[in-house]
Amino acid sequence: MTSVNSISWLIGGPQGSGVDSAANIFAKTCAKEGFHIFGKREFYSNIKGEHSYFTIRISDKPVNSHLEEINVLVSFDAETVFRHADKVSAGGMIIYDSSLAETVLEEVPTIDFEASNRIRKLLQDSGQSVNLNGMLEFAKSRGCMVYGLPYFEMLETVAQKMNDPKLSKISRVVNVMAISASISLLGIKKDMLINAIQEVFGSKPKLLASNIEAAEYAYSYIGTKYDTKNIKYKITPKDALKDYLLLSGSQAAAIGKIVAGCRFQTYYPITPASDESEFLESNQIIDKVDGKSGSIVVVQTEDEIAAITMAIGASLTGVRTATATSGPGFSLMAEALGWAGMNEVPLVVTMYQRAGPSTGLPTRHEQSDLLFAINAGHGEFPKIVLASGDIEESFYDAIKAFNFAEIFQLPVIHLLDKAISSSIQTCKRFSNDLKIERGEFKNTIDKNQSEGAAGHFQRFKLDDSPISTRVPIGTENAIFWNTGDEHTEEGHISEDPENRNKMMDKRMKKLDVALEKINQDDMAICHDFDSDGNNVVVSWGSTKGAILEALEKLSEEGNKMKFVQIRLLHPFPTETVKKFLKDAKLVIDVEMNYTSQLGSLVQQNTGREIDYKIVKYNGRPISTTELYIALKAILSGNHERRIVLDGGT
Amino acid sequence: MAELRLADYKTTVHNDWCPGCGDFGILNAIQMALSEMQIPRHKAVIFSGIGCSGKTPHFINVYGIHTLHGRVLPFAQGAKIANPDLEIIAVGGDGDGLGIGAGHFVGAGRKNVDIPYLIFNNAVYGLTKGQASPTLRLGEKTKSLVTPNTSNSVNPIALALVSGFTFIARSYSYDVKHLKDTIKRAITHKGLAFVDVLQPCPTYDDIHTREWYQGIDKQETGKAMPRIYKIEETGYDGTIKDESEINEKMTRILQFSSEWGNKIPVGIFYQNELIPSYHERIAENNKEYFAKPPSHQEISDNKNNPIAKIDKILDKLQIKD
C-alpha cells in the first residue's frame, strides 16, 4: 500500500438521481481531510434520466483542472460503467451495482447510437461480451479492481435497521452508499464523511438519518466483504485547509457582485448563467459592516432584451447594475449594449459562455464568444471585455468589472464560461480589500454647474477628459437627456457633422484612458516557469488551470515554458502582450473554440504570428492530460500547426 | 418653492413633428399634467421608444430618456424599480409598443410596476414613411400602402386587460383636457397604467383623420356626428372596488374594446388597485425596499471600502475540519 497525493474520482448516474449531491459530499469529505478539490460537472440538456457525471480531483496541492484518467469510478447504474470504465487507470477501482452485471449494452436506452457503437467496438475488439460484465472484465484485464455492491439488498438491510420499510424503495440513498464505499476503499476515516453528510442534509432530519445509516452500512460492507490491503490508491489525511472555501464559479461571481455593491440584477433563465442570479436572490438581504442590512433586487424578465434594457434603466438611477446571460441571450442584448455605450451608462454583463452556435450544446463548455463579445452591437462604441481564468478570479473580477464600468462609464462584459460556472474548487477565503471606485459619479450638483444651452447640465461635456460628471436621474440641477441618436452635450439629438466627430472622439478615447489606467495584472499575466522565454503559451479564460498544470509538468521535465494569460481582451493590451512575447521562439495559442479567436487578436494587435494553435470544440473542457500531450508533441517538433483536442465523455 | 408654470416644462428644442400632428396635443397634455400636479422637474423622467413619439422627451424640460425601438417599458420599469421615488412616464408609438415591443407590453402587464404608459396610436409607422402599424385594421389602405393591409390589427385595450395592466384608458389627442385629466389619473394610479391615445397622423394616415374622428363625413342629421364618445358620460365607472366585480367588468371592457368605426369609446375602462404593484411584491421579501430601494443603497464607506459583509455567506461555503 502506498499513499498517493492526487486522485481523480468520478461518479455518474442518471440526471436527477443525486449525482451532484453525492459528489458534493465526497468533495467536502476530502476537503475536510485537508485536500484541495477541483470538481467538474457534466450533464445533458435534460431534467431526468440522461447520463450526468461529476469528476472530482483531490490533491495535496491546489488544483484547477481535470485529467483524462480516472482512479476511482463510482457508479450505481450500468451506463456509468459503460461510458467511463475504459478511462480507469491500472490499479484504479470501479464500484458498481452487482445486480446489473448481466446488463446488455443495448438495454441502456440513454446511451446514444454513437456512444453505443464506440463501446460495442471496444468490447468486441478486446474479445469481451457486450454487457456490463464484459466491460468489467475489460477493465480488469487492464489492471483495474472492481467492487460489486448489491445496492438493493443493502437498501433492504438499511431499511430493516431503521425500521422503515419504505426506505428500501427510496433509491436516493444509493448515491451515498456508493460514495461511502469509495471513501472506505480510499482509506478515509468515516467521521469526515458523516460530518459532510450532516452539513449537506443537516436541515432535513429524516433524510439525514437515513443517509447516515446507509453511509455507515456501505462503509463497513466494503471492509467485511473485500480485502482492501492491496489497494493502490490510499490517501492519508493532510493538515486541515485553513480558511478555504469550496464553491462554484457562479457562486464566486455572485459573491463578488455583492461586495461590489451590485444592488440590481436582471436575468432571463438560461444555462449556465441562471445559477448566479438564483444565488443572488437567495442572498438578497445583505449584511453590512455597520450591522444594518442592505439588499439586492433580482428581477426575472420576459426575455434578455428586457433583461439588459431594464438593467440600463436601473443603472440610470445610480445603482450598480448587472445582468447575467449566456450566448443566445447575449445575442439578443447586442442592440441595447450599443445604447449603453452611446449614453455612457455603466453596466456589467456577466456572460457565461457555452457551446454555440444557436442552441449548440446548451449544457456544455466552449470559449467561442470572444470576438462576438468584443464586437457585439452595431456601430462603434467603447466597451470593456474582461475574462477570468478561474473561480477565484471570478470573484475579484466581478468587483473590478463594476469599477471599470463606473470609472470609464461604459458597458463591461465579464466573460466567464460553463467550465468556471459549474465547476467547484477549493479557494483561499475571499478578502474584500478591493476598493469601490466610482469615477466621476456624483449625487449632487450645484446650481451654477449647469452651464449648457438654456442652463442645462452637460452630461456629455466636451472637455479635456472624455469622462464626464455622471449623476443619477432624479438629481436636482442636473436634468439631462439620453438618446440612442447622436447627441449634444445636454443629450439632445444632433446630426451636426462637427458635433458627431467630437462625440465619437470623446466616447472612443475612453478606451485609451482605460489602457492607461487599468493595472497591468488585470490586462495580462505572465506565468513564468523560470523559463528563458523561448516558448510561450497564450490563452484566456478557464483554460488557465489545465495550462498551468501541464506547464508545471513540462517544466519538471526540463521543458520550461511561459504562459501569458490575457485577461483584458478589449481594449487589447497590445504593449503588455508585445512585451511578454518579445523574445518568444514559439507562440502556442490554446483555446476552446474552432477559429483560435484570441490567436487572431494577438496577431492583429501585436503583429506576432501564432506558431501553433491548440483548439477544442467538442463541448468538454481541456484536460491537463491532453494539453500536456499536445504541447509535448509540439516541443518535439513533430506536429501539425493546428491540433484539435478531442478528450472527454 | 416657487410654483412651476406650464412654460417651465417646455424646452427650447425645435419640434420637427409635421404641422397638424396629433403628437402636439399629447405633448401639451403631458406638460399640463406635470404642471398641474406640480411635479418637481428633476423628479420626473420621460422614457420613450423610437419613432416620432420617441422624440417627446426632448421637448419636455424634465429628465428625458429616449431609448430603443420597442424597449421603452423595460427601460422605464428598471428605473422605477430601482428608484420608486421617481415619477416616471413611458411613452411610445403603436408600432413601438404593440409590434416590436409587444412582448414587453405583456411582460409589463404581469409585473404591474407603478408607471403610466402612453401609446401614441396612429395606425402607421410615420417616421419610416407610413407603413401599416399593428393597429391598422385588416384591409385598410392608408395612402402610402401599396396594397390594403394584409395583417389583422391588435386590440390594445383587450391586450392590456389580459396582460394584467391595472389601469386601462383611452383618450384622444385633440381633446387635450380629457387627455390631460386621463394622464393625471394614470400618474396617480398605483400600478401599471395604460393610456391608448388616438392620434391622427396627418401625413400618412388619410383614413383616421381629424375630420374622420369629428365625423364630418357623417352628416345624416345635417351636422357632424363625432365618432368619439366618453364612457363616463354613459354612467360607466371602471374602478374595481371589490374583487367580485372583476369578471363582469372585464366582459364589459372587452365589449368597449371592440367598438370602433362609428362609435369609439374613450375614458377610463378599468382601474384596479387591489392588485399589488411589483414594488409591493418585492417588499414582501425585502422589507426595507421602499425605505432603501436599490438606488438609495450605500455600498462603500468614505474610504471607498465595500460595506457589504459577506462573512455569513462565506462561512457556509467554508471547509470545516
Q: Are A178 and A198 within one domain? A: yes
As a whole number, mean pLDDT of residues B198-227 equals 93
DSSP E strands in A159-282: the ranges are 244-248, 262-267
Q: Can you read off the three cell numbers belonging to residue A138?
A: 475489460
Partner-chain residue, chosen from A261, A318, A477, that has the shortest CB–CB distance to B308: A261
Asked if residue A236 belongs to a domain, the reply is: no
As a whole number, mean pLDDT of residues A101-106 equals 97
Q: Are A60 and A145 within one domain? A: yes
User: Rounded CA gap, B119 and B169, in Å?
Assistant: 11
Tell me which residue of A233, A194, A226 sits closest to A211, measured CA to CA.
A194
User: Rounded CA gap, A457 and A451, in Å?
Assistant: 6
Can you say whether residue B104 is alpha, beta or left, with left for phi > 0 and alpha for psi between -120 and 50 degrees? alpha
Chain-centroid distance of CA A388 in Å reads: 9
The pLDDT value recorded for residue A169 is: 65
Partner-chain residue, chosen from B65, B301, B306, that has the shortest CB–CB distance to A260: B306
Task: Compute CA distances A64 → A122, A304, A392, A545, B119, whole Å.
Answer: 31, 32, 10, 5, 54
Closest Cα in chain A to B103: A302
Chain A environment of B300 (Cβ under 8 Å): 261, 435-436, 438
Has residue B211 got a pLDDT over 80? yes
**Can you give the CATH number for the domain in which A292 is found?**
3.40.50.970
Closest Cα in chain B to A456: B61
Q: Are A120 and A269 within one domain? A: no
User: Percentage of chain A surpassing pLDDT 70?
Assistant: 98
Digit-coded pLDDT (tens) for A401-420: 999 999 999 999 999 999 99
- Which residues 269-288 of chain A have a CB within 8 Å of chain B? 283-288
Digit-coded pLDDT (tens) for A354-385: 999 999 999 999 999 999 999 999 999 999 99
Has residue A102 got a pLDDT over 90? yes
Task: Compute CA distances A221 → A98, A210, B222, whole Å.
Answer: 14, 16, 102
Q: Cβ-count burial of B248 within 10 angstroms (0-12 exposed, 13-18 middle, 19+ buried)?
A: exposed
B263 Cβ under 8 Å from any chain A Cβ: no
A298: β partners: A265
As a whole number, mean pLDDT of residues B70-79 equals 98
**Can you give the CATH number for the domain in which A215 is found?**
3.40.920.10
Where residue A230 falls among pLDDT bands split at 50, 70, 90?
Answer: confident
Structural domain total, chain A: 4
Digit-coded pLDDT (tens) for A484-531: 999 999 999 999 999 999 999 999 999 999 999 999 999 999 999 888
Digit-coded pLDDT (tens) for A251-286: 999 999 999 999 999 999 999 999 999 999 999 999
Has residue A584 got a pLDDT over 50? yes
Q: How far is B217 from chain A (nearest CA, A)?
A: 40
Q: How far is B138 from chain A (nearest CA, A)?
A: 29
User: Rounded CA gap, A537 and A584, in Å?
Assistant: 10
Chain B environment of A264 (Cβ under 8 Å): 78, 81-82, 294
Q: Are A375 and A393 within one domain? A: yes
Q: How far is B248 from chain A (nearest CA, A)?
A: 29
Chain B environment of A289 (Cβ under 8 Å): 301, 307-309
Cβ separation A481–B65 shorter than 8 A: yes
Q: Domain limits at A21?
A: 6-225
Tell me which residue of A636, A619, A188 sits closest to A417, measured CA to CA.
A619
Strands A36-42 and A51-59: antiparallel
Cβ separation A289–B304 shorter than 8 A: no
Digit-coded pLDDT (tens) for B218-271: 888 889 999 999 999 999 999 999 999 999 999 999 999 999 999 999 999 999
Has residue A133 got a pLDDT over 60? yes
Q: Are A511 and A544 within one domain? A: no
Partner-chain residue, chosen from B83, B301, B320, that has the shortest CB–CB distance to A317: B83
CA-CA-CA-CA dihedral for A627, A632, A633, A637, to nearest 10 = 140
The pLDDT value recorded for residue B219 is: 82
Q: How far apart are the first and last CA of chain A?
A: 31
Q: Are A453 and A420 within one domain? A: no
Has residue B275 got a pLDDT over 50? yes
The pLDDT value recorded for residue A206 is: 85
Has residue A1 got a pLDDT over 50? no
Q: Are A482 and A527 within one domain? A: no
Chain B environment of A339 (Cβ under 8 Å): 67-68
Asked if residue A457 belongs to a domain, the reply is: yes
Instruction: Look up the CATH superfamily of B6-282.
Output: Thiamin diphosphate (ThDP)-binding fold, Pyr/PP domains (3.40.50.970)
Asked if residue A234 belongs to a domain, the reply is: no
User: Rounded CA gap, B168 and B252, in Å?
Assistant: 13
Q: Are A349 and A409 within one domain? A: yes
The residue type found at A182 is S
Quote ipTM for the complex: 0.98
Q: Which residues contact A414 (CB under 8 A, 6 or more apart)?
A: A253, A348, A349, A350, A351, A386, A387, A388, A397, A398, A401
The pLDDT value recorded for residue A449 is: 62
Q: Which residues contact B125 (CB under 8 A, 6 or more apart)?
A: B51, B93, B95, B131, B132, B133
Q: How far is A175 from chain B (nearest CA, A)?
A: 22
User: Percentage of chain A surpassing pLDDT 90?
Assistant: 90
Tell me which residue of B29, B246, B33 sits closest to B120, measured CA to CA.
B29
Where residue B122 falls among pLDDT bands split at 50, 70, 90?
Answer: very high
Cβ separation A297–B294 shorter than 8 A: yes
Asked if residue A241 belongs to a domain, the reply is: no
**Can you give the CATH number for the domain in which A628 is found?**
3.40.50.920
Q: What is the mean pLDDT of chain A?
A: 95
Examine the fold and report which residue of A428, A457, A489 is the final residue of a domain before the chain moves on.
A428
Asked if residue A240 belongs to a domain, the reply is: no
As a whole number, mean pLDDT of residues A542-561 equals 96
DSSP E strands in A429-542: the ranges are 481-483, 524-527, 535-539
Domain ranges of chain B: 6-282, 290-317
A235 Cβ under 8 Å from any chain B Cβ: no
CA angle B77-B113-B171, nearest 5°? 95
Tell me which residue of A245, A80, A84 sits closest to A151, measured CA to CA.
A80
Chain B environment of A315 (Cβ under 8 Å): 78, 82
Q: Are A123 and A184 within one domain? A: yes
Q: Are A159 and A126 within one domain? A: yes
Cβ separation B318–A245 shorter than 8 A: yes
Q: Are A165 and A72 within one domain? A: yes
Closest Cα in chain B to A478: B42
Cβ separation B13–A492 shorter than 8 A: yes
A475 Cβ under 8 Å from any chain B Cβ: yes
The pLDDT value recorded for residue A228 is: 86
Q: What stretch of H or E contains B196?
A: strand B193-198
Closest Cα in chain A to B83: A317
User: Rounded CA gap, A465 and A91, in Å?
Assistant: 66
Q: Are A368 and A221 within one domain? A: no
Q: How far is B161 from chain A (nearest CA, A)?
A: 18
